[in-house]
Amino acid sequence: MDVAVKKRMGDPEMAREINQALILGMLRMHDRMSRAEIAQSLGVSKVTVSTIVGGLIARRFIAEQGMGTSQESGGRKPILLSLDTKHVAVIGVDIGTTSTIVAVGNLKGETLFSQREPTVPSHTLKRITAQVSRLVARAVQEARLPKSGIIGVGVSVAGIVDGVNGFIHFSPDFEWDDVPIRDILEQETGLRVIVDNCTRVMALGEKWYGCVKDARNVLYVNVGYGIGSALIINNRIYDNHSEFGHIPVTRQKIPCHCGKNGCLEAVASGSALEAQGTGMVPPADGTLSAREMADRARAGDAAALRAFGGAGRYLGRAIAIATNLLNPDKIIIGGGVSLAADLLLAPLRTEFEAQTMEVIRKHARIEISTLGRDAGVRGAIALALNACVFNSALVDGLAT
């Protein structure tokens, strides 16, 4: 259990906060429940539940939604409760190197509005934050709510991110060092901001919306311009930074931007595929993007097929190393390059099966993300909801 939680276990206010978070979480999972059903599930009195529910209705987090079925013949029908999807919302922002997307989500995490546009070409901090602020302002308008109805903004960004303090220690994609991104965006937007590393946010999105709802332990691999990873352990996002993309997978002297040779990112990422595409077109035509490489491979281009085959094998090798170590229930592959799963999966699975212990291999399942290019922004919505509505840090602290 978290130390802060331990210190406050005897605090009546904390008990109220915990019960409030648990009630909201139950309504997210079950959609509609009566006060009596909630009291029975939590093992607390109906008076306690009614008091907390009254406060949540006043804050417009909960709404009364018709009548349920009476437990006894002729008895009074209970009033059903659900999350209020009309009066309160959050905003999710996914800051990418090529595009930035903003979306509005209600308390159930349903997307009400979404807009994607190219990220400003100069990745200076001032220009990026100005773009995010403008997109957030547009999202507030599209939400058709007063600004007070927007209770938080979740932000997904690449780099070594301290989510607790909203601080980017280093982002190689943007060449940023020591950026208090949360404070900057809160000042510019006038809204509460929650920030985390993009891959952890994408993994959270899969937990909320995707294909890991039924898995407690998950390795999430983000194959985009670079390669990142995140872990879900006992249903919780592991909040330490990891560098899956820098597992050494080949003895070939292929340089990586980290300064080493033979890293996974140097041979299997979108940037690695683009580097291999340099010699596939005349110099005057520049190079090929990973998407253009995929199009060529699907058309039967031998060089492009070899590039994706090699990327798939290296990914399978690295995933096998991590799987032998961690024994996850599922391995989810997301990110832009995962959209070429038809080219990657066969060589990936072949290498994975060859390199993974049989007893572990039979247990672990490899799946492609179901969220596609929206994984980051949907995860950002979930990030804001977890912090601003469901108080997940407090509930998770209880369970540990």
The domain that contains 216 carries what CATH number? 3.30.420.40
Q: Which of 117, 71, 77 is nearest to 93 (CA)?
A: 117
Is the same domain home to 294 and 324?
yes
Query: CA dihedral defined by 4, 7, 11, 17, rounded to 10 degrees?
Result: 20
Distance CA 194, CA 207 (A): 18
Residue 351 pLDDT = 97
pLDDT value of residue 298: 95
Statement to judge: residues 241 and 187 lie in one domain: no
User: Does one domain contain both 78 and 224?
Assistant: no
| Spatial CA neighbour of 246 closest among 257, 238, 237 | 257
Of the residues 83, 110, 129, the one at which a domain ends = 83
Residues 234 and 324 in one domain: yes
Domain check: are 314 and 260 in the same one?
Answer: yes
Q: What is the pLDDT, as a whole number, of residue 95?
A: 96
Nearest to 112 by CA among 147, 87, 77: 87
Regarding whether 395 and 336 lie in a shared domain, the answer is no
Q: How far apart are CA 400 and CA 137, in angstroms?
A: 38
User: Is 380 in the same domain as 331?
Assistant: no
- Give the distance between the most distant pair of CA atoms in the chain: 82
**Domain, as residue range, for 288:** 212-369
Give the Cα separation of 380 and 139 in Å (integer): 14
Q: Compute mean pLDDT per 10 residues along the chain, 400 residues long, and list them.
A: 45 82 91 91 90 94 79 69 94 94 96 95 91 96 92 95 94 90 97 96 92 85 92 89 90 90 94 86 73 93 94 97 95 92 95 95 91 93 95 62
pLDDT of residue 1: 45
Residue 316: per-residue pLDDT: 97
> Contact at 8 Å (CB) between 335 and 302?
no
Structure tokens that stand for 281 in this block: 């077109």
In the chain, the number of structural domains is 3
CB-based contact 392:163 (threshold 8 Å): no
Task: Report the C-alpha gap between 23 and 49 in whole angstroms.
Answer: 8
Q: Residue 2's pLDDT is what?
A: 45
The predicted structure's pLDDT at residue 3: 41
Say which amino acid occupies 191: L
Q: Is 392 found in the same domain as 280?
A: no
350 to 43, 180, 342: CA distances (angstroms)? 50, 44, 14
Q: 235 and 177: one domain?
A: no
Same-domain status, 147 and 231: no
